[in-house]
Amino acid sequence: MRKSLFLYLFIIAVLMNLFTYKYFSSKDESQLKALTSKNKELQASMDDLNNKLSDANAFSLEYNDRAQNYLNEGEISDFTERVTQALLAYNDAPEGNKYTDQAKISEQKFIITKVKLLNHRWIMAQYSNGKLWGEVLLKYFVNEDKSISFEVLNSYLYPEEFN
């Protein structure tokens, strides 16, 4: 009787091990399938974001080879920084940045907050006085003496209800 009891216990133990093995191996397979499908989703999402980023950078000096060749500058990031700093230097004026095309309102002057070089000739900038926001399209030139001059092409100040 003792032999048959051990035999039954052995068979039960083997069956439990078999079912446990089957459960965990199928669980691993299902997790692998779920991770694979999630990976494909993330890859598709990443591709979509890369396409959107590429479209957003279509008007950017960093990705415009023709404009870079026209400028004949060394490092474009250094050139972009130099132009940006030249424009932002006008923020220190007591009346505000003259290239916002906006007069000072009470005590608050308009200063440029964001700058994007579109190509070898145009800049798009965002400006604010803390309460009102606007955008300006500028034309810039690199002079013979390597100084940078700007010219306002168009400016738009958003109405207060949109701020």
Same domain for 136 and 71: yes
One domain for residues 25 and 68 = no
Question: How many structural domains comprise the chain?
Answer: 2
Last residue of a domain, one of 29, 58, 87: 58
Burial of 29 (0-12, 13-18, 19+ CB in 10 A): exposed
Q: What is the pLDDT of residues 109-145, one digit of tens each?
A: 999 999 999 988 999 999 998 888 999 999 999 888 9
pTM, two decimals, is: 0.67
**CB contact set of 151 (below 8 Å; sequence gap of 6+):** 138, 139, 140, 141
44 & 115 share domain = no
State pLDDT tens for residues 22-65.
888 788 888 888 999 999 999 999 999 999 988 888 888 888 77
Same domain? 52 vs 66: no
The reply to whether 125 and 141 lie within a common domain is yes
What distance in Å separates the CA atoms of residue 148 and residue 150, rounded to the nearest whole number? 7
* Residue found under tokens 């007591």: 94
- Structural domain span for residue 97: 60-162
Residues 65 and 125 in one domain: yes
